[in-house]
Amino acid sequence: MSQTTVQKPIDKILAELKAKGIIAKAESESRGSLDVTKDKIIEVAKIMKEIGFDHVIAVTGIDFPEQQKIQIVYHVSSYSVEDLQKIIFAIKTYVDYKDPSLPSLTQIWGSAWTGERETYEMLGVRFEGHPQLSRLFLPEDFEGVYPLRKDFKIKLEGLFVDKPG
């Protein structure tokens, strides 16, 4: 009696990406990730959409001040493809402090709209081509460094307060 192995959905995705020259990894049966340079992010996003990832769940940023860069992570999933509905894929890239910009993915996934605006406002990353890159949460007269950058200091009663190191 022959035994057939059923390929897990995450493994099918990894194989499809590998066939297109994109190296990704499974972090679990329902999580995957890939690292891409910012100049290739549009190309990779289009491929992910072709595979069936039809929306962005979140756009997040992580500040690495010692490396003078910010990591941007798009978490994508699918409503329309049943095999992908329980899978979340992280598309990761970096921007430098000197040029904190990358192409907007709103042209591929409209659902990136809010997350990119929030990341712009809180970390200062410009998403080139975003249809409305403006403040979302902070008051228009907000001054200072971006609140989610690690060098942000809390202003209290007219003074900047530093936590003891």
* Dihedral angle over CA of 73, 57, 103, 99, nearest 10: -40
- Tell me the C-alpha distance between 98 and 112, whole Å: 24
Residue 150 lies in a domain: no
Identify whether the C-beta of residue 95 lies closer than 8 Å to the C-beta of residue 69: yes
Q: What is the pLDDT of residue 141?
A: 81
Q: Where are the beta strands (DSSP E) in 12-54?
A: 25-26, 31-35
Residue 4 lies in a domain: no
Which tokens hold the place of 10?
A: 């995450």
| pLDDT surpasses 70 at 23 | yes
Q: What is the mean pLDDT of the chain?
A: 90
Residue 136 lies in a domain: yes
Residue 73 lies in a domain: yes
Count of domains in the chain? 1
| Residue 32 three-state SS | strand
| pLDDT surpasses 80 at 159 | no
Task: Calculate helix-pair angle for 9-19, 41-51, nearest 10 degrees.
Answer: 130
Bridge partners of 95, per DSSP, are: 70
Residue 154 lies in a domain: no
Residue 164 lies in a domain: no
| pLDDT surpasses 70 at 112 | yes
| pLDDT surpasses 90 at 125 | yes
- Domain containing 78 — which CATH number? 3.30.460.80
Q: What is the pLDDT of residue 143?
A: 75
By the 10 Å C-beta count (0-12 exposed, 13-18 middle, 19+ buried), 91 is classed as buried
Closest CA to 74 of 51, 48, 52: 48
In the numeric block, the tokens 């990119």 are attached to: 116
| pLDDT surpasses 60 at 163 | no
| pLDDT surpasses 80 at 156 | no
Neighbours of 44 (CB within 10 A): 22
Residue 156 lies in a domain: no
Q: What is the pLDDT of residue 135?
A: 86
pTM for the model stands at: 0.87
| pLDDT surpasses 70 at 161 | no
Identify whether the C-beta of residue 109 lies closer than 8 Å to the C-beta of residue 31: no
Show the domain range for 72: 9-142
| pLDDT surpasses 80 at 74 | yes
Q: What is the pLDDT of residues 24-72, one digit of tens each?
A: 999 999 999 999 999 999 999 999 999 999 999 999 999 999 999 999 9
Bridge partners of 159, per DSSP, are: 156
Residue 153 lies in a domain: no
